[in-house]
Amino acid sequence: MSERPAHRPTAILVGVQLPGVGDAEYAADLAELARLVDTLGYDVTATVTQRRETLSKSVVLGEGKLKELAELTGGRGFVPSAVPVRKDKARQRREEEGGEGDDEVEFDDFEDDAGQVPIVGKDVPGDSKKRPALVAVDHELGPSQARNLERATGVQVLDRTGVIVEIFHRHARSREARLQVELARLAYVAPRLRETGSRGERQAGRGAGETELEFDRRRIRDRMAEIRRELEGVHREQDHRREHRAGQPTVALVGYTNAGKSSLMRALTGSEVLVADQLFATLDTTVRALHPESHPRILVSDTVGFIKKLPHDLVASFRSTLDEARHAGLLLFLVDASDPTFREQYAVTREVVGEIGAMQAPSRLILNKVDRLDEEQRAELQREFPDAIQMSALNKDDVARLHATIVAFFGQALVEAELLIPWPQHALVAQLHGEAQVLSEKHEEAGTLMRVRIEPDTLKRVRGALGPGAE
């Protein structure tokens, strides 16, 4: 993993604890947001929290907390009034002639809480280089809420969804991942567009009577339609590759982000997949053969990690990637057993896997990173999860035991069969050595007689290739 830059921009976290959310859950959510912001490249320097019955429709926080936040950011500390000052003709004429009138607060698209008044504040002095560059809010914000927070604080504001979308945008590497993330990003940005510049400004490509805002939204719709068409082609290619692997046993690693899936993938397959101690380091599904190779060969797929409150647009975008889990013969639910919140993370993972229709496959729970626990903690986990596999992806003996468990699981489904491979179809012999356990092999006048232990679907396919009489 690359070293952390010496001087990174800073960020402030904002959270509102609503009724029904316990202190432990609230603290865990904020800690997770802090890790997300860290992954995005910011150092968290402060946290502003508040207990409220409901979120403010305008700026999330109440007046006092908004002022406290503004003092940290160097912002104005107030939001504009939702009601413009009415002017009679005489007053308007005096102002046009240069006379003094009452100050009027600007506003646009401001959704005001009932009876809320502007918060009066003033600029906070200080070195702008030391001011935070981001305010991250642990709630989904409407366009007006985000805009008004930015106007009150003077810095960029992102809600939890925005932070996750930006992380995905930076980490996407393959063409498919980039397209999927761009689609989700545009879906996030589209409702947050607002008019900029002069409304009378002409812009190339704008239709007659079309405002700049309408033009920008149309361009986004067109680009999203184009991405969907490109993804359809990518998905067809994926389906062809999946059909080519049909009949091969596959195990899918699924779990919360940073649970150790990529480390386990590397240990089980010997592949050089990216391993980094950060959230959403892996966005691309990787499929590799179990190593040392078994007969039949078993494939292992690594999938994108899950997280609490994962934006629905991202779940939908990565549905095709998660299809590897839906088509797997065995699901390994991986959790970081050293994380106090792993039970909630496990529940979130199972919920998302259920949403994509993958829960019909058999599954095992893997309690990873137990090397960070003491003997008493491991014994307690054994009592709570007696059927789970405790291991560390960094321990070769643990990985070897899991390897044997996977091979034994798929071995239960094998059936024994005797096949006579005619000489003209001798290529099937090499194929069977890769897709079955060869128990015996004898060359006869008509061809090669093989006794094998093989997957039922693979046996059906081979007998179909041999033609009538292969039974």
On whether both 159 and 50 belong to a single domain, the answer is yes
Tokens of 291: 């190593």
pLDDT (mean) for 296-319: 74
Q: Is the pLDDT of residue 124 over 70?
A: no
On whether both 139 and 219 belong to a single domain, the answer is no
On whether both 165 and 63 belong to a single domain, the answer is yes
Domain boundary among 194, 219, 240: 240
Tokens of 82: 């939702």
Q: How many residues does the chain have?
A: 471
The total domain count for the chain is 4
Collapse the DSSP code of 250 into the 3-class scheme (helix H, G, I; strand E, B; otherwise coil) and give the result. strand
- pTM for the structure as a whole: 0.71
Phi, psi of 185 (to 5 degrees): -65, -45
Q: How many CB atoms lie within 10 A of CB 1?
A: 9
Predicted confidence band at 121 (pLDDT cuts at 50, 70, 90)? very low
**Of 292, 310, 298, the residue nearest 255 (C-alpha):** 310
116 in any annotated domain = yes
**Of 468, 471, 466, the residue nearest 417 (C-alpha):** 471
The tens digit of pLDDT for each residue in 231-264 reads 888 878 777 776 666 667 899 999 888 888 888 9
Q: Which structural domain, as residue segments, surrounds residue 63?
A: 10-83+106-170
| Cα(378)–Cα(142) distance, integer angstroms | 44
Helix axis angle for 143-153 and 63-73, nearest 10°, is 60
318 in any annotated domain = yes
166 in any annotated domain = yes
Domain harbouring 159, CATH code: 3.40.50.11060
153 in any annotated domain = yes
The tens digit of pLDDT for each residue in 324-363 reads 778 888 999 999 999 998 999 999 889 888 877 778 889 9
The tens digit of pLDDT for each residue in 47-82 reads 999 999 988 888 888 889 999 999 999 888 766 554
On whether both 131 and 179 belong to a single domain, the answer is no
On whether both 455 and 439 belong to a single domain, the answer is yes
Q: Is the pLDDT of residue 306 over 90?
A: no
On whether both 282 and 333 belong to a single domain, the answer is yes
Domain boundary among 217, 240, 263: 240
For residue 257, give Cα distances in angstroms to 24, 28, 32, 126, 275.
20, 15, 11, 38, 12
